[in-house]
């Protein structure tokens, strides 16, 4: 009888020990999961663009941008929820007119949940070309061709620093109606520049060129896509500055080609 009681007692103690170990494992797993969900991470998200209140009689010329890429920081659970929110970036065109419209992308317009930090937006600006609907019908009824334009100079603007852009030229391929491509080649309506106003000190920076094309022409490809911009510390005296053989001074204003 005593032996049976002893065996039963040992069995109960073993069961309690097993339950304690199981509870400990469950607690550790839950703690690890909570730690992982609360740890800050970074992630890239594509946000589609939605064009609202387009004026009557106005259409979007060429290929309109599809969306923007944003880099965000938040906890794993916040980022996971973010992918399920079906985000979009609204652009209100109610006050827009025929011509080119530049839209700046502001983080607050994205309506992100609290706790999410926007680290980067690419691109930070969008260019929309607005045309009359009848012009769009004419453009798309004409024969479309591909054309390569080579060795187009790239200038900079918006900085008082002497600078150098490497390489100094760009090759592009465009698509559009025959008569618009001919005008682009011969009328000097192609504009390629680099806005340097956000560069505040001497250094080396990677930059993309801004290519301004007439309505109805679509940019297909560029080579290169990324340029190197070198900002130099201005030497003392204008005469000394102009004698520097490798630096292109910014004369102010917008450069056109």
**Per-residue model confidence as pLDDT tens digits over 74-110:** 998 888 888 888 888 899 988 888 877 888 888 888 8
Copy the structure tokens of residue 172: 């592009």
172/206 same-domain check: yes
pLDDT tens-digit readout, 193-212: 888 988 888 999 998 888 88
pLDDT tens-digit readout, 34-67: 445 468 899 888 899 998 998 888 888 766 778 8
236/166 same-domain check: yes
Residue 34, domain member (yes or no): no
CATH code of 82's domain? 2.170.120.30
Q: Is 163 helix (H, G, I), strand (E, B) or coil?
A: strand
Radius of gyration of the chain (CA): 30
pLDDT tops 80 at residue 257: no
Residue 10, domain member (yes or no): no
Is 47 in contact with 111 (CB distance < 8 Å)? no
Strands (E), 33-143: 40-52, 58-60, 67-75, 89-92, 99-104, 117-122, 125-132
CA nearest 151: which of 176, 168, 174? Answer: 168
Strands (E), the chain: 40-52, 58-60, 67-75, 89-92, 99-104, 117-122, 125-132, 144-153, 155-157, 163-166, 169-177, 191-195, 203-207, 210-212, 218-223, 227-231
- Distance CA(28)–CA(33), nearest Å, equals 9
Is 89 in contact with 118 (CB distance < 8 Å)? no
126/148 same-domain check: no
The number of domains in the chain is: 2
CA nearest 180: which of 145, 206, 208? Answer: 145
CA nearest 99: which of 216, 225, 226, 20? Answer: 216
Containing domain of residue 182, as a range? Answer: 142-242
190/158 same-domain check: yes
151/101 same-domain check: no
Greater pLDDT, 16 or 222: 222
């Amino acid at each position: 009888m005593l032996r049976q009681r002893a065996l039963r007692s040992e069995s109960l103690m073993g069961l309690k020990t097993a339950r304690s170990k199981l509870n400990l494992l469950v607690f550790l797993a839950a703690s690890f999961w909570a730690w992982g969900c609360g740890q800050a991470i970074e992630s890239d998200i594509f946000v589609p663009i939605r064009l609202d209140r387009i004026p009557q009689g106005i259409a979007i010329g060429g290929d309109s941008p599809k969306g923007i890429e944003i880099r965000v920081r938040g906890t794993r659970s916040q980022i996971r929820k973010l992918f399920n929110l079906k985000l979009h970036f609204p652009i209100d065109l109610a006050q827009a007119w025929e011509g080119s419209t530049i839209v700046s992308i502001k983080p607050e317009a994205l309506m992100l949940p609290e706790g999410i930090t926007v680290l980067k937006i690419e691109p930070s600006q969008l260019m929309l070309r607005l045309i009359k609907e009848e012009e769009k019908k004419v453009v798309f009824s004409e024969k479309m061709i591909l054309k390569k334009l080579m060795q187009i100079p790239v200038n900079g603007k918006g900085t008082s620093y002497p600078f150098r852009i490497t390489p100094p030229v760009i090759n592009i391929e465009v698509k559009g109606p025959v008569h618009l491509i001919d005008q682009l080649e011969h009328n000097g309506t192609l504009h390629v520049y680099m806005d340097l106003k956000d560069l505040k000190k001497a250094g080396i920076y990677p930059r993309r060129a801004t290519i301004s094309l007439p309505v109805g022409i679509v940019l297909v490809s560029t080579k290169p896509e990324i340029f190197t911009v070198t900002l130099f510390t201005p030497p003392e005296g204008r005469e000394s500055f102009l004698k520097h053989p490798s630096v292109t001074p910014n004369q102010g204003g917008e450069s056109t080609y």
